[in-house]
A and B are shown apart, each in its own frame.
Chain A
Amino acid sequence: MTEAAIRVEDISFSYGDVPAVEGVSFEVAPGEILGFLGPNGAGKSTTIKILTGQLTPKSGNAQVLGVDVTTDDPVMQAQIGVCFEEKNLYDSMSGSENLRFFASLFGIKNLDSDDLLRKVGLVDRANDRVSKYSKGMRQRLMMARTLVNTPKVLFLDEPTDGLDPVSSQAIRKLIKHEADRGAAVLLTTHDMYEADELSDRVAFINEGKLYAVDTPDNLKLEHGKRSVKVRVREADGVKERTVSLEDATAGEELKAAVGAAGLMTIHTEEASLESIFIEMTGRGLEG
């Protein structure tokens, strides 16, 4: 059995008297992407701060690459990459200089910054100061910065927030690539489509509590209806009917529908991650 890259056991944290994370437990294996799904203020960023050593949990235990996160272990920190929600880059430095500076903190002397910038589509602007970058460009540079040390564990806090669809797709492709090379990825987002597309498993978090940790398919199967909705144009108008996949005659009914001359659409009645989230927490993801 592969040892978890991230192991979280019953951690809690509060800002003063306000609880931010309560009894959260989960694991992320190498090469796995865990989508941390929840609305703003749910506890996603606090969890990442705890796991990256920025906050100390009030209780519980968290390990990254087998090292207790409260120990501030430099060897462990040399093997993680963090993409923050806020665009905390050095504006007076160029994209290339930003990458080289952070690489130097990892002891990397000869970083191929152009290669990283090429991956995020910024190689043509490598020598421009970050102050001249657009919001999307800054976000892409943040992603490139996360990868300067070829990390074994990636903490990505809303990495596609505010990006145009093309840039978002490029970042998602990059995240997939990192997971494919073996990096464990903890991805926080409130974008259910992103979570669905990228995540091997998703974790629902709301008001500091974890409600579910499972694969998107399992969640959808568990919470969705096993039925198909068929719309057919007939002489007296458009007719819609639902075929239950639990019924023994479902196969025959679907075969007939597919063969029908006026078939318009066939849709599964699978639940979306958002509807499951609302069902479980009573709160929407955009809240």
Chain B
Amino acid sequence: MSRPVPRFTIIGSIVRKDMAEYGRDKLWAFLTAMVLIAVIALFWILPNDVNESIGVGVSGLDAPAALAALETIEEEGLRVVPFRSAQDLEAVVAGDAEAWQTEGQAVVIAPGSDPAAPDGADKANVAIGIAFPDDFFASTAAGQRTEVTVFVDAAVPDETQKAITSLVREFAFVVAGDELPVDTPDPDEVFVVLGEDRVGSQVTAREGFRPVFVFLILVMEMFVMASLIAKEIQERTVTAVLVTPATIGDVLAAKGIAGALSGMVQAVIVLVAIDSLFPQPVLVLTLMLLGSVMVSGTAMLAGSTGKDFMSTLFHGMVYMILLMIPAFAALFPGAASAWIRALPSYPLVRGLVNVSTYGDGWAETLPELAALFAWSVGLFAVGWVVLKRKVQTL
């Protein structure tokens, strides 16, 4: 045998071996399958609509003028549900009855009663009720004091309760024909949005969890790879490989390829299943590929530092928590803190959110791609060096 074995032959053999071992590890194979199924199922179970208005039940206002006046309340982002009586309103807010809204007034149905909800009616979630007295208009117009009852669910925050009270006062002020001492002619001049303006493009729970789910797959991959690497070190099988024509570079390259490959395959399955691959498949796959490389580097780190299964799991958990923070931060609107933006997985999560949720393209995602590329290369290099040193000291 006088000719060296081609590098790709050696690396390919190790990759195939790693993938076979992965598939035969019952624990990881089971966990991987479970996570894949759970992620896809959870995604489709999560609600895909946004309801940011608070249902406010109103009773005692029948006059057409009152309906016009109610627009004042709806402008505040509240959904007005008219009730026939204060008693119905109180029962619904207290949770003793359900309200179904038709085009007219709300139909109140006590739980377990007959008949059932009317056809074509929507269930109205009413957390706050405002019961105006029957003589509200007359008394207010005459400048007489009158009493309005506000019902609130126990779960409504104190601040919201106070805001509703102020709203009722303001409403009464308008009904009395007085001008408010504050003028807001153009909302755009008054409300200055700081940061990224996402008004009108609110994210549903399903959309919000999308990066969490996709990232979960990559993190799972990190655990599997870390476990395989740690096992190879602990059982010294890597030393048997290194006395063949295979070099340590071949072994490390194979680990990186195996990790990125299995991470990518699973990520693509999830992306397709949760309808996130299109309309920018190449961009999404590029993000995922870089993410897989980053996770492979992290797996090398975790696998090198772990002395047994438990310590590998512990190290993996530490890395997992750090990497998952940006994914969870994406669930909440608003800009992420500076320290979260400094985490390696932030550009990946940000890129995924912007592409899959807001439809950003290559140009808009370029900063995230650049940052992710730098992090992926950096972490892979660190993982490579640490694992190499570990193997050399065996």
Q: Which residues of A contact B (CB under 8 A)?
A: 52-54, 72, 74-75, 77-80, 82, 84, 86, 88-93, 97, 101-102, 104-107, 145, 149
Contacts and interface: CB of A to CB of B under 8 A. Distances in A.
Nearest to A75: B4
Interface residues of B, number: 28
Interface centre among A79, A89, A106, by most chain B C-beta atoms within 10 angstroms, is A106
Contacts of A149: 1, 244
A80 to B, nearest CB: 7
Given A74-B245, A90-B237, A104 B9 contact: yes
A89 B231 CA distance: 11
User: Which of B1, B2, B242 has the most chain A CB atoms closer than 10 A to its own CB?
Assistant: B1
B17 interface: yes
B239 A106 contact: no
Contacts of A104: 9-10, 13
A145 B1 contact: no
Given A77-B245, A84-B239, A84-B240, 13 more contacts: A75-B2, A78-B5, A78-B245, A84-B236, A88-B239, A90-B21, A90-B237, A92-B20, A104-B10, A104-B13, A106-B1, A107-B5, A107-B6
Contacts of A53: 242-243
Contact of B235 (A77, A88, A93, A106): A88
B12 to A, nearest CB: 8
27 contacts: A52-B243, A53-B243, A54-B242, A54-B394, A74-B4, A74-B245, A75-B1, A78-B245, A88-B235, A88-B237, A89-B237, A90-B17, A92-B25, A93-B20, A102-B241, A104-B9, A105-B241, A105-B244, A105-B245, A106-B5, A106-B244, A106-B245, A107-B1, A107-B245, A145-B240, A149-B1, A149-B244
B53 interface: no
B247 A72 contact: yes
Interface in B205-257: 235-237, 239-247
Contacts of B24: 92-93
Given A74-B4, A90-B17, A102 B244 contact: yes
A9 B79 CA distance: 91
Contacts of B13: 101, 104-105
A102 B244 CA distance: 8
Contacts of A52: 243
A102 B1 contact: no
A272 B246 CA distance: 42
Nearest to B245: A74
Contacts of B241: 102, 105
B17 A101 contact: yes
Nearest to A107: B5
Contacts of B243: 52-54, 77, 80, 82
A75 B235 CA distance: 26
Nearest to B235: A88
A82 B240 contact: yes
B10 A105 contact: yes
Nearest to A86: B236
Nearest to B234: A88
Nearest to A149: B1
- 4 interchain residue pairs of minimum CB distance: A107-B5, A104-B13, A105-B244, A74-B245
A53 B1 CA distance: 19
A74 B247 contact: yes
Nearest to A152: B1
A93 B3 CA distance: 29
Contacts of A72: 247
A88 B5 contact: no
B127 to A, nearest CB: 56
Nearest to A53: B243
A82 B243 CA distance: 7
Give the residue among B5, B244, B247 with the most A Cβ atoms within 10 A.
B244
A91 B21 CA distance: 9
Interface in B292-309: none
A82 B24 CA distance: 27
B237 A74 contact: no
A183 B243 CA distance: 17
A97 B24 CA distance: 13
A106 B243 CA distance: 10
A54 to B, nearest CB: 6
Interface in B94-117: none
B94 to A, nearest CB: 61
A105 B239 contact: no
Nearest to A72: B247
Interface centre among A53, A77, A89, A91 (most CB of B within 10 A): A77
A127 B24 CA distance: 14
A80 B240 CA distance: 12
A107 B235 contact: no
Contacts of B245: 74-75, 77-78, 105-107
Contacts of B242: 53-54
Nearest to A109: B9
Contacts of A91: 235
A267 B10 CA distance: 57
Contact of B240 (A77, A92, A102): A102
B5 A74 contact: yes
B233 to A, nearest CB: 11
A227 B239 CA distance: 49
Contacts of A92: 20-21, 24-25
A4 B242 CA distance: 24
B195 to A, nearest CB: 51
A101 B237 CA distance: 12
Nearest to B241: A105
A145 B241 CA distance: 11
A70 to B, nearest CB: 13
Contacts of B1: 75, 78-79, 106-107, 149
A145 B244 CA distance: 11
A97 B20 CA distance: 10
Given A72-B247, A78-B245, A107-B1, A88 B240 contact: yes
